[in-house]
Amino acid sequence: MEPDPMHVLIIDDSRAMRSILRRIVTDLGFTAVEAANGQEALDHLEAGLRPELCTIDWNMPVMDGYTFVSRVRSTPEWRDITLMMVTTESEHGQIVKALAAGAHEYVIKPFTPDAIADKFELLGVRAGVVA
């Protein structure tokens, strides 16, 4: 099943961060769906949401972002979803770890809206167009 080209799933336990990212992805033409942790995000996917991309914080209660990435990448029906970490974790080893777990991209906080737009461009993720 093709991913829904119009949604971005924003996964972060900070309401402020979700709000910032929601505006950025909305400006890029997407519809934002929010989750406060990895488990809530999985619930969305299990309910049938197929976002084009997920932005994923690392440190969250209940289920962290790293675990969420591993779970998504090991589930065949979710393999088309692009996964982008957006986190304060900025050590070299952490980035390697996230990429090894299957994250496609990595943005370090603080970031500018242009940085997110840039990464979407690099990934070929565009609203209304299946990558």
Partner 1 sequence: MVPPDPDGGVVTISQASFDYVSALVRRETSMLYDPGKEYLVEARLLPLAREAGAADVDAYIGRLSTDLAERRKAIDALTINETSWFRDNAPYQTFTEHMLPAMLAERTHVRHLNIWSAACSSGQEAYSLAMLLDQHLPAGWGASILATDVSTAMLERVQAGRYGQVEMNRGMPATQLVKYFTRVGSEWEVSDDLKKMVRTQHLNLAAPFPPLPTFDIVFLRNVLIYFDMDTKRDILRRVRDVVAPDGFLLLGSSETTLDMETHWTREPLGRVQTHRPVPTTAGLRMPAAMTGA
Partner 2 sequence: MSTLTEPTLSDLLAILDEVWGSFLSSPEPLLPASDDGMNHGTSAAVTITGDWRGIVVVETSRPVAEEVTRRMLMLDAVTPDDVADAMGELVNIVGGQVKSLTGGQSTLSLPIVASGHLVQPSEARELCRADLVWIGEPVRVTVLSVRTP
Copy the structure tokens of residue 98. 């996230």
Which are the contacts of 75, defined by CB distance < 8 A and separation ≥ 6? none
Among partner 1, partner 2, none, what does residue 73 contact (CB within 5–8 Å per kind)? none
Nearer to partner 2, 29 or 126 (CB): 29
Query: What DSSP state is assigned to residue 3?
Result: P
Which one, 42 or 84, has the nearer CB to partner 1? 84
| Nearer residue to partner 2 within complex by CB, 23 or 79 | 23
9-17, 40-48, 56-64, 102-110 -> range binding partner 1 (CB under 8 A): 102-110
Binding mask 103-122 for partner 1 (x = CB under 8 A): x-xxxx-xxx-xx--xx-xx
- The C-alpha angle 5, 97, 119, rounded to 5 degrees, equals 35
Q: Alpha helix (H) ranges present in 28-103? A: 38-46, 65-73, 92-101
Q: Hey, how many other C-beta atoms are within 10 angstroms of the C-beta on 90? A: 10
Q: Is residue 91 close enough to count as binding partner 1 by CB under 8 A?
A: yes
CA angle 57, 2, 101 (to 5 degrees): 35
Does residue number 90 form part of the binding site for partner 1 (CB under 8 A)? yes
The contact set with partner 1 (CB under 8 A) reads: 90-92, 95-96, 99, 103, 105-108, 110-112, 114-115, 118-119, 121-122
